Amino acid sequence: MTQRSSGGAASEFAIELKKINKRFGPVWANRDIDLKVRRGTIHGIVGENGAGKSTLMSILYGFYNADSGEIFVNGQLAHITDSRHALQLGVGMVHQHFMLVDNFSILENVILGVEDNALLASSLSKARQELKRLADEYRLNVDPDAIVEDVSVGQQQRVEILKALYRGADTLILDEPTGVLTPEEADDLFRVLRVLREQGKTVILITHKLREIMAITDTVSVMRQGQMVATVPTSETSPDQLAELMVGRRVLLRVEKGPAHPGQTLLEVKNLVVADDLGVVRVKGVNFAVRAGEIVGIAGVAGNGQTELLESIAGMRDQRAGDVVLAGKVLSLKGDDGAHRARREGLGHVPEDRQREGLVTQFEEWENNVLGYQYDHAYGRGMLLDIAAARAQAIERMHKFDVRPANARLKTANFSGGNQQKIVVAREMEQNPKVLIVGQPTRGVDIGAIEFIHNQIIKMRDAGKAILLVSVELDEIRSLSDRILVMFDGNIVGEADPAVATEGELGLMMAGVHKEAAQ
Amino acid sequence: MSARRPLPRWADVALLPVLNLVLALIVSGIVIALIGQNPFDAIRIMTVGAFGNLEGIGFTLYFATDFIFAGLAVAVAAQGGLFNIGAEGQAYLAGLGAIAVGLALDHTSWLLVLPLAIIASGIIGGLWALIPGYLQAKRGSHVVITTIMFNFIASAIMVYLLNYVLKPKGVQEPSSANVVDAGKIPQLRTWFHQFGGAPLNMTIIFAVLAVIFVYVLVWRTKFGFALRTMGHNPAASLYAGISNSRTIMTVMFISGALAGMMAVNEVLGEQARVVIDFTSGFGFVGVAVALMGRNHPFGVALAAVLFGALYQGGIELQFEMPAITRDMIVVIQALVIMFTGAMEGLLRPGLENAFMVFGPKQKAEAAARETVSTEG
């Protein structure tokens, strides 16, 4: 094992935090945090959004200074002043949102900011060799000359890891690394992390997906409300126990629901053909129906047309051909206000990406509570917006859906991911739609909120709504749906009963193998 | 997990512009010192010239009237994420509406002429801006490009019209006929002689009304909601069923209409006719005014008064300090525009850092973001 610091006898801990305190005004973001990360291990840190994981890692990475407490890197006391300093000490970070220049090559991204001199050519050729060495050593194969925007998200994440390694990182912090990855890409990432561990690197994995913690970490630390509530060997714990530690109460990881009682057909999709922005046909003549009181889940690897399908049904994207029929009425989706007409007919839509579509993050919360229903008479009958009514309603819904903090004047960007999602879900459900289409309902959402949102979806079903669910989380599809449709390459390739279908069968169908062959 | 937190609102809308202005004045002072003049005298002369007496104030507010209309035009479009740099051309062409009303109703009363001239010039300015708006909404041609180009087209049309159509027989200069009676919007000096030669006129009432109108439009109406949604996040407005194309065309019309109203101040309030280039580049100053005013109507009004003072003070400075030529004045004005407009973000990172270190409230807000309590 190579030793980076000059400290002679290496400490057995790569990172040691002692009594870290960080207060923001009256709020303790981190309180008396002790953490020991053993060298050459994968150490998971779990906690709900807002538990203080990010603040703690920010302190370790030099974004914030702790109010008190000590940081030891490789046994040496360190006063980390900024991220550059953290990197010098061998601490590298892979952010949740990649910090890459999209139109640069992978090689250029790797050396960005650490060029040797003003002449780029010599840096590049040296970096090319080093990159090849790193790629071989850690089995992180990338094409150094590929342009970043052309490669997959999983590949982009590799570039981020390579960037940190190129800068000499011994300890890698990964912040919610699988949030943007497909299951295969996530498996691939875990393989890379295991290789890193074999090679003596230390990995700190921040996540709130307990499955990942169980699958890959050696030790797991749980944070709740700014405090470290437990650190246990992963082999001696269970997801249920971790969930309880995170939330502070018993949590049901399985969704509890009774049998469905499907009624009349409320949503019918007939021969729908949809193209994406570049004119590529992504939905190739899809037919299905959703009845009142049932949840139909669409499973599939991301990018097989689910996004375009949802957008088209919601009126955000013109169809090339085919119809969407809502409660017997053909929706007129043409034009850029199709979503308005779809809503008027009784369609609710929780979009796949709340920050890009479902919310205006710069708006105050009550304004987002209005979004999509701004022409509704509840918010004023004339040209003026009835702000008082809108705010009162927003507060009411925040209490009903347990959105915290319940401050309708707070900027939406300041809410955690789970609370942002609750704002969207509350808005779409409280309009009492006939049909609710839901995309990735729990992406980047903490456990407590996941449980809540799942229960709300079941409640809507039991209230006789037709629900169409799209998720890349196969577990979510299987536990919520009453029927599963599998989408592959723009087609519905099969239907499955969640009670009997195995993960393997569904996985094969998602990969395009026909149902009969899959069984 | 960003390293910096946004500034508190008061620092963003007040402290930062003031610091930018101070910086501009310091650099201007260095330039003035370099040509051997006393910068403190120069600042005193400019300040007294702009605010020292009613005549100075009258000039300042007369300029400010133009800048309010131009600044609002830029600001309202910016709320929708659109950059209208065509206020100059929209105002120039709108001069036709003002003069038409002025000449046609010259025998009636200014009480009739003023509102009708505002409407007529607003419609012409609005229609002129609607064309780039349509091209953006339906054809994807970027308004930044088209509005610039439309300035040249407007200019060429006006030169043609002034030379061949509007110019009365026997007049040498390319200009329209004069309004002589009721078509003139009365200047305040006709009632208050203390205003001296200042051309401040009743059009300023509509400038103030326009400020209130834009505030209500943007923050109190459903259209304003749609506009701001589009400005912040066009994907969200598509999701919300807001027609971006309709919003773009509507706001461009409103923006052009506001720019067009500037023509009333110049054509009927001051010149009593349309002359070549009567807009004198004030439409472009509107961009700096809107930037400095943070695209907020009240900010625009304050910034417009500041720029009015700068123009009026500059004229005074030219008289009192002969060593400072007209070109020097332009340099000073350009410095202020540059620091408060184009480089308004210059001090922002430093100020944000200062607030991170010194502002307990900032820290508390940051904590509220990072740490949302999970217990009741």
Q: What is the pLDDT of residues B73-108, one digit of tens each?
A: 999 999 999 999 999 999 999 999 999 999 999 999
Answer for the pair B230, B242: CB distance below 8 angstroms, yes or no. Answer: yes
At the second CATH level, the architecture of B62-304 is Orthogonal Bundle (1.10)
d(CA B201, CA B315): 19
For residue B364, the chain A residues in CB contact (below 8 A) are 24-27
Nearest to B229 among A48, A337, A360 (CB): A360
* CB-CB under 8 Å, A371 with B240: yes
3-state secondary structure of B275: strand
- pTM, to two decimals: 0.79
Break chain B into its structural domains and give their ranges. 62-304
Quote the pLDDT of residue B6.
Answer: 67
A160 sits in the region (left: phi over 0; alpha: psi -120 to 50; else beta) called: alpha
* CB-CB under 8 Å, B239 with A316: yes
Share of chain B above pLDDT 70, in %: 93
For residue A62, the chain B residues in CB contact (below 8 A) are none
Answer for the pair A472, A310: CB distance below 8 angstroms, yes or no. Answer: no
Domains of chain A: 13-247 (3.40.50.300), 265-363+433-518 (3.40.50.300)
B241 touches chain A (CB under 8 A): yes
Share of chain B above pLDDT 90, in %: 66
Condensed to tens digits (0 to 9), the pLDDT of residues B150-167 reads 999 999 999 999 999 999
Answer for the pair B289, B301: CB distance below 8 angstroms, yes or no. Answer: no
**Does ipTM exceed 0.90?**
no
Quote the pLDDT of residue A4.
Answer: 45
pLDDT of residue B334 exceeding 70: yes
The sign one gets for the Cα dihedral A38, A39, A44, A45 is positive
* CB-CB under 8 Å, A414 with B371: no
Answer for the pair A516, A338: CB distance below 8 angstroms, yes or no. Answer: no
B98 sits in the region (left: phi over 0; alpha: psi -120 to 50; else beta) called: alpha
Tell me how crowded residue B53 is: count the other CB atoms within 10 A of its CB: 14
- Encoding tokens for residue A33? 């945090």
* CB-CB under 8 Å, B364 with A52: no
A21 touches chain B (CB under 8 A): no
3-state secondary structure of A275: strand
Quote the pLDDT of residue A8.
Answer: 41
d(CA A481, CA A295): 5
For residue B363, the chain A residues in CB contact (below 8 A) are 23-25
Of the CA atoms within 13 Å of residue A379, those in its CB half-sphere come to 25
3-state secondary structure of A165: helix
B-contacting residues of A 112-171, CB under 8 Å? none
Mean pLDDT score, B40-45 = 92
* CB-CB under 8 Å, A414 with B241: no
Q: Which residues of chain A have pLDDT under 70?
A: 1-10, 25-26, 49, 116-119, 179-180, 182-183, 251-253, 514-519
Residues in chain B: 376
* CB-CB under 8 Å, A343 with B375: no
Nearest to A384 among B221, B243, B374 (CB): B221
d(CA A193, CA A315): 42
For chain B, give the mean pLDDT: 89
B-contacting residues of A 201-230, CB under 8 Å? 224-226
Nearest to A371 among B221, B229, B363 (CB): B229
The count of CB pairs under 8 A between chains A and B is: 150
Condensed to tens digits (0 to 9), the pLDDT of residues B108-156 reads 999 999 999 999 999 999 999 999 999 999 999 999 999 999 999 999 9
Quote the pLDDT of residue A278.
Answer: 82
Answer for the pair A64, A225: CB distance below 8 angstroms, yes or no. Answer: no
A52 sits in the region (left: phi over 0; alpha: psi -120 to 50; else beta) called: left
* CB-CB under 8 Å, A336 with B228: no
What is the b/e burial string over A418-429, where b = at least 16 CB atoms within 10 angstroms of the residue's CB? Answer: bbbbbbbbbbbb
* CB-CB under 8 Å, B238 with A24: no
pLDDT category of residue B16 using cuts at 50, 70 and 90: confident
Cis peptide before A351 (omega within 30 of 0): no
DSSP per residue, A426-439: HHHHHT--SEEEEE
* CB-CB under 8 Å, A336 with B244: yes
